[in-house]
């Protein structure tokens, strides 16, 4: 095949595949089988391999991913992505309508209504019909460049259909989401592997878009609905026409929008979809109402935070009544006991609810719960089920009072509850299985020791076979301890499990990852120890003051509370941890295995310590440097970053959109407020 023939065939295959793709995502029509589609894609891949000069960025083969992105660049939006004003009240919708009527001074107007999808907002930029950049909403002014990952989403066109009179450059906005079907399948797969279940589709979508490996993103099968078109040249006169234009260009549009001639029609649309929305394949939480005419949108303008020509109506939380079958107890990494309501399955907000959190003993007492009660269940934010009350009128007369457990459900140890706290704890840290497992899982995570290739099911296998008892034992593991190790994969605890074993390559990867983790810095080790109330940020604060774990372990309660942002609760927890003889022995063993338990001060400092002894709070949006960038500059120059304003603070670095309460508090305490430029001048970097 000649180069000319190859180019022609490649162009034809791209056009054909894009055609079938558009039919599937826009019309839900499959003209060919999956096998035939895959064969077309394989033919294209083979040709692109033989003629790489014709492998275009917009080729359908680029959707499979594989590119690794270590960090995501921050991009300033050309047009700010403002949030909408929210309301839960019909009355406030009428008030909104009155404001529109007044602002348009007697002109006739109409609304376009759309469903409000529970996903992640995205901005797409096209030049000459080809996708150039995809950016998250971020703070509305700046977002993250996720172009590599967005290319894997099949409902986002990489190259648009030819439409006459289109500007060379334009922006399209929409919502990336994960369908409930895909989410449920993903969680079923994770459950089979013994991995922690994902919380909800929206959070999973957000996390997926920021994954480093785009091939993993491709496998997550994200989707996208587009609903907004903008360019320097106005090519349409109404929002409705903009939607039709997006359809012609090949974008995936939800067919649920409707033009309404009055606010009364808007209310009808709102009521129509209140229950019907649960039949959709994705989650929704309300509707968006926009003035249709774009010139009228311009006339109405914006407030500082949102457009005056649009508003979002949020549906009230859905509730249902069902029977409480029982109450079980879960044990967390820190020994915290969480009671869980076991419910007769009930359909709520489009999903079947079988369990709901009861938080603690105080909540059970407040609700006066009894096993056998009929309870009211809601989905907080339409995601997390919770029991909100008891249907006392239907309570059976012979129910007994519920007695909260006095012993740990996993190890039988007597529980304790600290005065003033609502949560019960199991004190058997060393012998309670879920606590041991939880601490090891916490220790190996990315923000801590970053031990890759070691999953929860493997850890369970190591515990079951007596290979490890705590995190220090990980560093004594040998290849032979892992190769051939059998572990259980639970699909459903009631139905049993399957047994798998580690192979040579996996065993070697785990050993190498454990060895590599010894280079993790002191603050990440401190976080990984799982000391109660000591998160990643607190760990960073502590190692700024205590460069060696021995200094921290020997610091008195009074010395600890003098450290900025280390309060009484954290100081007490630190003392309890370091006074425990088992923890002392654990740290001694970790030091013996070569882990970093002190700050490496031999490394060349990046800054010149001009901010030595100075403390800063950063608030707002900045133009030249990101907030994380400012924090890094402060640390590199010897300063310290605090999270709240107090009398110990030296400077408040104030950016755009900073909350008025922080400014007011800083003024009351006579704390100096400086701008981004003031700060950069202070360290000699305002270039």
Give domain 3-64's CATH superfamily: Helix hairpin bin (1.10.287.610)
Looking at beta carbons, which pairs linking 443-449 to residues 24 or more positions away fall under 8 Å?
Answer: 443/471, 443/474, 443/528, 443/529, 443/530, 444/474, 444/517, 444/528, 445/528, 447/524, 447/527, 447/536, 448/520, 448/524, 448/525, 448/527, 448/528, 449/517, 449/520, 449/524, 449/525, 449/528
N-to-C CA span, the chain: 55
pLDDT at 521: 92
Output the DSSP codes for 273-333.
HHHHGGGSSS-EEEEEEEESBHHHHHHH-B-SSSBTTEEEEEPPPPEEEEEEEEEEEEE-T
Structure tokens at 2: 């000649």
Confidence of residue 492 (pLDDT cuts 50, 70, 90): very low
Is pLDDT of 27 > 80?
no
Calculate what percentage of the chain has a pLDDT beyond 90.
39
d(CA 434, CA 439): 8
Q: What are the residue ranges of CATH 1.10.150.20 in the chain?
A: 433-519, 522-592
Confidence of residue 627 (pLDDT cuts 50, 70, 90): confident
d(CA 547, CA 599): 5
Q: What are the residue ranges of CATH 3.40.50.10190 in the chain?
A: 615-682
Output the DSSP codes for 163-178.
-TT--SEEEEEEEEE-
Which range is most confident: 135-139, 293-297, 562-566, 643-647?
293-297
Q: What is the DSSP letter of 350?
A: T
Which range is most confident: 183-192, 540-549, 656-665?
540-549
Output the DSSP codes for 647-659.
TT--EEEE-BT--
For residue range 41-100, list pLDDT tens digits in order: 788 888 888 888 887 777 777 766 555 565 678 888 888 888 888 888 899 999 999 999
Is pLDDT of 327 > 60?
yes
d(CA 184, CA 560): 46
Confidence of residue 142 (pLDDT cuts 50, 70, 90): confident
Contact 498, 478 (CB under 8 A): no
Those residues whose C-beta lies under 8 Å from the C-beta of residue 341, and which sit 6 or more positions away, are: 324, 327, 355, 356, 357, 358, 369, 375, 387
Those residues whose C-beta lies under 8 Å from the C-beta of residue 493, and which sit 6 or more positions away, are: none
Contact 514, 316 (CB under 8 A): no
d(CA 377, CA 264): 31
Is pLDDT of 410 > 50?
yes
Confidence of residue 129 (pLDDT cuts 50, 70, 90): confident
Give the range among 131-135, 400-404, 418-422 with minimum mean pLDDT.
Answer: 418-422
> Burial of 635 by CB count in 10 Å (0-12 exposed, 13-18 middle, 19+ buried)?
middle
d(CA 40, CA 12): 11
Q: What's the mean pLDDT in 212-240?
A: 89
pLDDT at 479: 92
Q: Between these two residues, 608 and 279, which has the higher pLDDT value?
A: 279
The crossing angle, in degrees rounded to 10, of helices 90-103 and 263-276 is 140
d(CA 631, CA 642): 10
The runs of H, that is alpha helices, within 386-485 are 433-444, 456-464, 479-482
Other Cβ atoms within 10 Å of 180 Cβ, number = 17
Q: Which CATH architecture has domain 522-592?
A: Orthogonal Bundle (1.10)
Question: Topology of 75-314 in CATH?
Answer: D-amino Acid Aminotransferase; Chain A, domain 1 (3.30.470)
Beta strand 651-654 pairing with 615-619: parallel
Q: What are the residue ranges of CATH 3.30.470.30 in the chain?
A: 75-314
d(CA 264, CA 102): 17
Q: What's the mean pLDDT in 597-610?
A: 69
Q: Between these two residues, 261 and 628, which has the higher pLDDT value?
A: 261
pLDDT at 382: 44
Q: Which CATH number fits domain 433-519: 1.10.150.20, 3.40.630.30, 3.40.50.2000, 3.20.20.10?
A: 1.10.150.20
Other Cβ atoms within 10 Å of 14 Cβ, number = 21
Q: Which CATH number fits domain 615-682: 3.30.530.20, 3.40.50.10190, 3.60.20.30, 1.10.10.60?
A: 3.40.50.10190
Is pLDDT of 28 > 70?
no
Other Cβ atoms within 10 Å of 663 Cβ, number = 17
Q: How many Cα atoms sit within 13 Å of 210 on the Cβ side?
A: 14
pLDDT at 319: 78
CATH number for the segment(s) 320-394: 2.40.50.140
Confidence of residue 384 (pLDDT cuts 50, 70, 90): low
pLDDT at 490: 64
Those residues whose C-beta lies under 8 Å from the C-beta of residue 52, and which sit 6 or more positions away, are: none
Q: Give the CA dihedral 158, 162, 165, 169, nearest 10 degrees.
A: 10
Q: In what order do the strands lie in the sheet with 284-291?
A: 86-87, 310-314, 284-291, 111-117, 258-260
Structure tokens at 348: 């709520």
Catalytic residue, from 116, 541, 631, 640: name it.
Answer: 116
E strands along 88-179, which residues? Answer: 111-117, 120-127, 130-136, 142-144, 169-177
Q: What are the residue ranges of CATH 1.10.287.610 in the chain?
A: 3-64
d(CA 238, CA 240): 5
Q: In what order do the strands lie in the sheet with 672-674?
A: 640-641, 615-619, 651-654, 672-674
Is-catalytic flag, 488? no
d(CA 375, CA 650): 52
pLDDT at 126: 92
Contact 356, 385 (CB under 8 A): yes
Q: What's the mean pLDDT in 358-368?
A: 88
Structure tokens at 11: 């162009």
pLDDT at 668: 85
Output the DSSP codes for 519-575.
GS-HHHHHHHTT-TT--HHHHHHHHHH-SBHHHHHH--HHHHTTSTT--HHHHHHHH
For residue 124, the SS3 value is: strand
For residue 605, the SS3 value is: coil
| Chain mean pLDDT for the chain | 85
List the beta bridge partners of residue 490. Answer: 497
Contact 408, 415 (CB under 8 A): yes
């Amino acid at each position: 095949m000649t180069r000319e023939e190859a180019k022609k065939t490649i162009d034809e295959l791209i056009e054909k595949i894009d055609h079938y793709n558009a039919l599937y995502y826009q019309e839900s029509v499959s003209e060919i089988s999956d096998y035939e589609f895959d064969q077309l894609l394989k033919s294209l891949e083979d040709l692109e391999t033989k003629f790489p000069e014709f492998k275009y960025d917009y080729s359908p083969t680029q959707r499979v991913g594989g590119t690794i992105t270590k960090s995501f660049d921050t991009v300033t939006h050309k047009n700010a992505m403002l949030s909408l004003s929210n309301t839960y009240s019909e009355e406030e919708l009428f008030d909104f309508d009155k404001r529109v009527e007044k602002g348009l001074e007697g002109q006739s107007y109409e609304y376009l209504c759309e469903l409000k999808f529970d996903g992640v907002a995205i901005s797409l930029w096209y030049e000459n019909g080809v996708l150039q950049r995809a950016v998250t909403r971020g703070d509305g002014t700046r977002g993250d460049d996720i172009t590599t990952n967005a290319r894997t989403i099949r409902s986002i066109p990489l190259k648009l259909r030819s439409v006459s009179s289109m500007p060379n450059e334009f922006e399209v906005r929409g919502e990336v989401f994960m369908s409930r079907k895909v989410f449920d399948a993903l969680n079923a797969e994770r459950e089979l592997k013994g991995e922690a279940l994902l919380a909800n589709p929206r959070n999973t979508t957000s996390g997926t878009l920021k994954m480093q490996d785009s091939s993993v993103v491709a496998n997550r099968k994200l989707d996208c609905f587009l609903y907004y078109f903008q360019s320097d040249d106005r090519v349409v006169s109404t929002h409705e026409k903009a939607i039709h234009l997006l359809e012609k260009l090949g974008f995936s549009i939800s067919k649920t929008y409707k033009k309404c001639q009055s606010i009364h029609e808007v209310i009808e649309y709102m009521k129509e979809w209140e229950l019907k929305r649960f039949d959709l394949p994705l989650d929704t939480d309300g509707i968006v109402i926009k003035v249709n005419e774009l010139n009228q949108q311009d006339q109405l303008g914006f407030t500082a935070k949102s457009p005056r020509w649009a508003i979002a109506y949020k549906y009230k939380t859905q509730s249902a009544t069902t029977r409480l079958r029982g109450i079980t107890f879960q044990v967390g990494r820190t020994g915290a006991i969480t009671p869980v309501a076991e419910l007769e399955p009930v359909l709520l907000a489009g999903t079947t609810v079988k369990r709901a959190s009861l938080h603690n003993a105080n909540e059970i007492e407040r609700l006066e719960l009894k096993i056998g009660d009929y309870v009211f269940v809601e989905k907080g934010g339409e995601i997390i089920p919770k029991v909100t009350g008891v249907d006392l009128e239907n309570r059976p007369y012979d129910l007994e009072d519920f007695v909260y457990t006095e012993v740990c459900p996993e190890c039988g140890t007597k529980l304790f509850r600290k005065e003033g706290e609502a949560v019960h704890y199991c004190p058997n840290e060393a012998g309670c299985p879920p606590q041991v497992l939880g601490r090891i899982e916490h220790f190996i995570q990315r923000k801590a020791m970053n031990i890759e290739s070691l999953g929860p099911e493997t850890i369970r296998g190591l515990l079951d076979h007596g290979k490890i008892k705590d995190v220090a034992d990980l560093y004594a593991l040998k290849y032979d301890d892992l190769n051939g190790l059998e572990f259980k994969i639970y699909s459903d605890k009631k139905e049993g499990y399957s047994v798998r074993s580690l192979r040579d390559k996996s065993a070697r990867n785990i050993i190498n990852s454990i060895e590599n983790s010894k280079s993790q810095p002191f603050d990440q080790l401190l976080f990984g120890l799982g000391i109660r109330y000591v998160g990643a940020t607190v760990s960073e604060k502590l190692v700024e003051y205590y460069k060696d774990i021995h200094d921290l372990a020997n610091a008195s309660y009074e010395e600890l509370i003098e450290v900025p942002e280390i309060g009484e609760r954290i100081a007490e927890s630190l003392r309890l941890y370091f006074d425990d003889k088992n923890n002392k022995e654990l740290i001694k063993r970790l030091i013996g295995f070569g882990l970093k338990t002190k700050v490496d001060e031999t490394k060349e400092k990046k800054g010149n310590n001009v901010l030595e002894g100075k403390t800063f709070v950063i608030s707002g949006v900045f133009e030249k440097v990101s907030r994380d960038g400012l924090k890094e500059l402060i640390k590199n120059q010897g300063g310290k970053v605090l999270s709240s304003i107090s009398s110990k603070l030296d400077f408040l670095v104030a950016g755009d959109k900073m909350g008025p309460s922080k400014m007011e508090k800083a003024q009351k305490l006579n704390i100096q407020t400086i701008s981004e430029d003031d700060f950069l001048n202070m360290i000699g970097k305002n270039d």
